Amino acid sequence: EVEHRRWNAEQLLNGWVYGEMRNNELKIHDNIVPYAELTDRIKQYDRDAVINIPVILAAVKLKIDKKGT
């Protein structure tokens, strides 16, 4: 859910708006909605993006390191 909120904010800051039909030229996107309104397929897409962060970092020889408090 946090990733979707981040994505929404990024899109809005870049001039995108909500619309029922996506149009890249007009910066209209049908997924600029609250997380609860997304389809299960799009929710899974967001979850997969977060799950794959360690894989992406490893590809550029970086890793997530858990620090103690």
Q: Does residue 69 have a pLDDT over 90?
A: no
pLDDT of residue 51: 94
Helix (H), strand (E), coil (C) string for the chain: CHHHHHHHHHHHHCCCEECCCCECCCCEECCCCCHHHCCHHHHHHHHHHHHCHHHHHHHCCCCCCCCCC
- The residue extents of the domains of the chain are 2-59
**pLDDT tens-digit map of 6-62:** 999 999 999 999 999 999 999 999 999 999 999 999 999 999 999 999 999 999 999
Q: What is the pTM of this model?
A: 0.77
pLDDT of residue 19: 98
pLDDT of residue 67: 80
